Amino acid sequence: MIDFHTHILHHIDDGSHNVVESIQMLRMSYEQGIDTVVLTPHFHLGEHQIGPWLEERQLRFDQICQYLTEDDKKHIPRMIFGAEVEFQPDMNHWDYLDKLRINGTNYIMTEMPFMPWTGENIKVIDDIALHTPFTPIIPHIDRYMHTFTPEKYIRHFLEMPEVIVQMNAIYINGVHNVPFYKPMIESGQVQILGSDCHSPEWRQPDLGMAIRRLREVCGDSILERIDAFGREMLRDAIYQEV
């Protein structure tokens, strides 16, 4: 299975604190049956500039590689560069969106505001989806479902074929959430999954448990469909050499 949302790279955002934690998170993921992870550190326009941020992402990855043992290399998922791009009202006009996509693909993870969405927010994402070469991924849809965002906006993305929707493992692992996520996953409105892991302890890699839960709740065929969908998305992805 593929983990589309991780903060495994250290010292670039609020995720992993050091190389040891990063390698631990990679090994934990692999033990849970995750063979591919997309590395999605936060990109916040207010804090980051694209050039230095890209260099830092590469540097953190290179540092992890320096510390990987031969045994580690056999027990970690394959990695692809990506980003979790904080929503900005003009992001549909950025000339460097291509630098922030999942490497080799046209998918770009757009983190929506954590305050009630407005029609203007929706228009920006729609514009990326409909008028640029890029396909937005709305990360952790579950985190927006319980804010004051009007339900019609959540539904808009769930029903829009030009936008991909990702759900976090932690939501699937909550037993009381079954009635909410089951129809969204079975209908294919939520297409991909992620752990959104930040450390080996706090917000740890937990996608393996979510996959087991989904098998029980939705059955094998749904899991197969999610896996196949993700692999198709990553058909042209560029994997990092370790």
Residues that bind Fe ion (CB under 5 A): 84, 196
Nearer to Fe ion, 85 or 128 (CB): 85
Q: How far is the CB of 43 from Fe ion (least distance, A)?
A: 11
Widest pairwise Cα distance in the chain: 51
Query: Sheet harboring 42-43: ordered strands across?
Result: 42-43, 84-86, 107-111, 135-138, 164-168, 192-194
Nearer to Fe ion, 41 or 208 (CB): 41
Least distance (Å) from Fe ion to the CB of residue 31?
Answer: 21
Residues 6+ apart with CB under 8 A from 22: 8, 9, 10, 16, 60, 64
Name which of 84 and 206 has its Cβ closer to Fe ion: 84
Helical spans, DSSP H, in 69-111:
70-74
Identify which of residues 43 and 153 has a Cβ nearer to Fe ion in the complex.
43
β-sheet bridge partners, residue 107:
135
Among 198, 165, 229, smallest CA distance to 28 is for 198
In the complex, least distance from residue 5 CB atom to Fe ion, rounded to whole angstroms: 6
Residue type at 67 in one-letter notation = Y
The nearer residue to Fe ion, 84 or 126, going by C-beta atoms, is 84
Task: Give residue number: closest CB to Fe ion.
Answer: 196
Helix (H) or strand (E) holding 220: helix 220-233
- Min separation Cβ 37 and Fe ion, Å: 13
Please, are residues 36 and 2 in contact by the beta-carbon 8 Å criterion?
A: yes
Which tokens belong to 84? 């979790």
Query: CB of residue 140 vs Fe ion: minimum separation in angstroms?
Result: 7
Q: Residue 232 phi/psi, 5° resolution?
A: -65, -40
State which residue, 47 or 224, has the beta carbon closest to Fe ion: 47
CB of 121 to Fe ion, least distance (A): 18
